[in-house]
């Protein structure tokens, strides 16, 4: 049997891809949240009633950072699986779920659309499951790296739903400065 690359060469390729993809995914997640004004400093969000299962605010930055690192490494594992059947489709599915993931913060925090945020998370949940299935076909380890992400995405879906239940009047509500309309005359 002829081996195309040594184990050391395969590990080096994985590390090179991981050094690009891990920070890349982490950076995209950070930019999405930052540009959307996500977190407790957002005045609209701060005014919302919080569900009982809402964890301390610092939890989100820590958990998402760990998850984005795991997601980037899982992607690197699949990317270096040259010649594996379904590799291209799995990478494409990862990209699709990442785009949906990155869309949630602007929808929820910038647009103040709690219902649409719930829809985005429902789509994300389905895409993450599909990504896990496709990654498993290429490299099972990569699929297992995404399981905590699926658990957190499902938790986020429940949390988003509870925000909607507690704050139905805030859905789509402007969170900026108040606009006062005055009628002069008749």
CATH number for 90: 1.20.1260.100
Query: What average pLDDT does the structure give for the chain?
Result: 92
- Find the domain containing 113 and state its range: 7-169
Report how far apart, in Å, the C-alpha atoms of 31 and of each of 5, 43, 108, 125, 175 are: 37, 19, 15, 21, 21
In a domain, 51, yes or no: yes
In a domain, 41, yes or no: yes
0.95 cut: is pTM over it? Answer: no
Q: Closest Cα to residue 97, out of 126, 136, 63, 68?
A: 126
pLDDT tens readout for residues 167-180: 999 998 875 443 33
Please give the tally of structural domains in the chain: 1
DSSP 109: I
pLDDT > 70? residue 154: yes
Cα dihedral value 43, 62, 68, 132, nearest 10: -100
37, part of any domain: yes
Residue 175 lies in a domain: no
Please check whether residue 104 lies inside any domain of the structure. Answer: yes
Dihedral of the CA atoms 168, 174, 178, 184 (nearest 10)?
A: -90
* Residue 179: predicted pLDDT: 38
Whether 174 is covered by a domain: the verdict is: no
Helix (H, G, I), strand (E, B) or coil at 136: helix
Is 2 inside any structural domain? no
């Amino acid at each position: 049997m002829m081996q195309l690359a040594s184990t050391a060469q395969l590990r080096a390729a994985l590390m090179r891809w991981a050094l690009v993809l891990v920070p890349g995914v982490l950076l995209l997640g950070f930019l999405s949240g930052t540009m959307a004004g996500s977190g407790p400093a957002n005045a609209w969000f701060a005014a919302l009633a919080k569900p009982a299962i809402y964890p301390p605010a610092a939890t989100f930055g820590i958990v998402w950072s760990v998850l984005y690192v795991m997601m980037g490494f899982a992607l690197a594992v699949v990317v270096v699986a040259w010649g594996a059947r379904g590799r291209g489709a799995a990478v494409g599915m990862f990209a699709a779920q990442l785009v949906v993931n990155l869309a949630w913060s602007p929808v929820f925090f910038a647009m103040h659309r709690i219902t649409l945020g719930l829809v985005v998370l429902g789509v994300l949940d389905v895409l993450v499951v599909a990504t896990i299935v496709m990654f498993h076909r290429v490299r099972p380890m990569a699929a297992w790296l995404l399981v905590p992400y699926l658990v957190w995405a499902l938790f986020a879906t429940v949390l988003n739903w509870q925000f909607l239940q507690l704050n139905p009047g805030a859905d789509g509500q402007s969170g900026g400065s108040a606009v006062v309309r005055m009628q002069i005359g008749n």
